[in-house]
Amino acid sequence: MTQKTNAHDLSHLTVLVSGASIAGPALALNLARLGARVTVVEKAAELRGGGFAVDFRGHVHRSVLTAMGIWDEIHARQTHMGRQAVVDADGTPRVDLPAEMMSGDVEIFRGDLAQIMYERTKDSVEYVFGDSITSLTDTSQGMDVTFERGAPRRFDLVVGADGLHSNTRRLAFGDESRYLRFFDHYVAGFDIPNHLGLDRTGRVYSEPGRAVAIGNYDGDPERAGALLVFRSEQLTYDRRNVTAQKQILMDRFAGMGWEAPTVLKALEQADDLYFDAIAQIHVDRLTKGRVALLGDAGYGATMGGMGTGVAIVGAYVLAGELALAGGDFGTAFAEYETRIRDFAKGCQKISGNAGPFFAPPTERRIRSRDRMYRVLSSRPLARFFKKLTEKAATDIKLRDYPA
Ligand SMILES: Cc1cc2nc3c(=O)[nH]c(=O)nc-3n(C[C@H](O)[C@H](O)[C@H](O)COP(=O)(O)OP(=O)(O)OC[C@H]3O[C@@H](n4cnc5c(N)ncnc54)[C@H](O)[C@@H]3O)c2cc1C
């Protein structure tokens, strides 16, 4: 009697994923359900919590998250963030920004989303924390991988889901400088005491070339998130040196009005500083041999480009194509490349506005931004604005992938 085999079963496939934030666990979740044996290596010592609130928009995000079985939990743990306001130096609101404009259909903390996917996969996926890939050697049998700490291993495929400054991309595709386009701004974020007593609302204050935003996303009476954005030439600094990054921010925001002095004071104590360039990743190809790039590693945009949604859709498509091709990675990678590239580029285009939105270069531009958003935030136009961002978020036709 012949045994009936499932053509989409991936149990013969071993996959190493680098990065356990959003793209990595999303791919692990999709692949593990198809039977693949997945290992996720993450440089941090444990799953990283916190981070910014990230949002989902439109039917494509929703149907992918539903197919992954996590829509309801995301919904249950959403922030319920309300309106935000652009304010004057004395805190008087100048423009009201509706929630659907800033926070999409559903918004959740990046750390909570990572946690949801990690919990769903931790029993079927091998997670290795506190380690990193040091070399990749493509052999005819598989990919030989060495690690900073662990013993060398062989995998059928390696996926770089390790962010804007991807280690996998550097090892397999070459130096970051070939792929990273700087967008004239830096962004920083960290938690501060909720000294304004905000309740699921936020404030943005801009001076030419710099902005401070404070938001309370989850109703926590004690805690708020601060976001600093400044316009700059490209800086050289050590990405591991937090003290140096704090100094850059102290210098750039010195003398700024509104709540900036209080925020800078809190920065001195912050132990969760995120600091990076607003930049985009543009690679010629998303795959090379047995290696694929996913999420920010392949098409990141720092902020304002729905990067989380793109990473989730990318993970779903990559896993789905591998299943349809029965694990034939040549076929699957080619399909992934074709299906994701334009979609990701469309979302990247929107993100180009993030820096100038927060920190217009002149007082005149600040005024014209305010005028424009005053018009856009009126009810009918807010709906139109939402449709505009949704257009990029839904500009992909998903195939019917095996469950
Ligand atoms: C200020 C700000 C606001 C944002 N707002 C939104 C939003 O509203 N909506 C939205 O959709 N997106 C938003 N984003 C973007 C979103 O955070 C990213 O697009 C999304 O997290 C992409 O996830 P990723 O898993 O590809 O990369 P990342 O989240 O960057 O994760 C990469 C992971 O790889 C790990 N790693 C790094 N190097 C190594 C290594 N050598 N070995 C192993 N692991 C490694 C890192 O520790 C990390 O866990 C925002 C981003 C910023 C900065």
Inter-axis angle of helices 58-67 and 307-324, nearest 10: 50
Regarding the beta carbon of 20 and ligand 1, being less than 6 Å apart is answered yes
Q: Do 156 and 329 contact (CB within 8 A), yes or no?
A: yes
* Residue 321 included in any domain: yes
Regarding the beta carbon of 48 and ligand 1, being less than 6 Å apart is answered yes
pLDDT of residue 6: 66
pLDDT of residue 4: 40
For residue 22, report the distance from its CA to the centre of ligand 1, in Å. Answer: 7
For residue 275, report the distance from its CA to the centre of ligand 1, in Å. Answer: 12
Which of the four pLDDT bands, split at 50, 70 and 90, describes residue 377? Answer: confident
By most ligand atoms within 8 Å of CB, the mutation choice from 97, 128, 162 for ligand 1 is 162
Helical H runs in 81-205? 99-103, 110-121, 167-173
Regarding the beta carbon of 298 and ligand 1, being less than 6 Å apart is answered no
pLDDT of residue 103: 84
* Residue 112 included in any domain: yes
For residue 21, report the distance from its CA to the centre of ligand 1, in Å. Answer: 6
Q: Do 321 and 332 contact (CB within 8 A), yes or no?
A: yes
Which is nearest to 227 in space by CA: 106, 102, 361? 102
Give the range of the structural domain holding residue 342, as residue numbers without chain letter: 14-81+107-180+280-358
* Residue 175 included in any domain: yes
For residue 140, report the distance from its CA to the centre of ligand 1, in Å. Answer: 32
* Residue 202 included in any domain: no
Give nearest CA residue, ligand 1 atom 19: 307
pLDDT of residue 1: 35
CA atoms of 370 and 366, how far apart (whole Å): 6
For residue 387, report the distance from its CA to the centre of ligand 1, in Å. Answer: 25
Q: Do 162 and 297 contact (CB within 8 A), yes or no?
A: yes
pLDDT of residue 9: 87
Tens-place pLDDT, residues 90-128: 999 999 988 877 888 999 999 999 999 999 999 999 999
* Residue 304 included in any domain: yes
Question: Which atom of ligand 1 is closest in space to residue 107's alpha carbon?
Answer: 8
Q: Report the CATH number that the domain containing residue 170 is assigned in CATH.
A: 3.50.50.60
pLDDT of residue 358: 96
Tens-place pLDDT, residues 49-82: 877 899 999 999 999 999 999 999 999 999 999 9
Regarding the beta carbon of 107 and ligand 1, being less than 6 Å apart is answered no
Give nearest CA residue, ligand 1 atom 9: 54
Give nearest CA residue, ligand 1 atom 3: 303
* Residue 390 included in any domain: no
Task: Supply φ then ψ for residue 32, to 5 degrees.
Answer: -65, -35
pLDDT of residue 261: 98
Number of compact structural domains in the chain: 1
By most ligand atoms within 8 Å of CB, the mutation choice from 17, 39, 41, 43 for ligand 1 is 43
Regarding the beta carbon of 162 and ligand 1, being less than 6 Å apart is answered yes
For residue 307, report the distance from its CA to the centre of ligand 1, in Å. Answer: 8
Regarding the beta carbon of 70 and ligand 1, being less than 6 Å apart is answered no
- What are the DSSP calls for 190-208, one per residue? EEEE-TT--SSEEEEEEET
* Residue 191 included in any domain: no
Tens-place pLDDT, residues 307-345: 999 999 999 999 999 999 999 999 999 999 999 999 999
* Residue 388 included in any domain: no
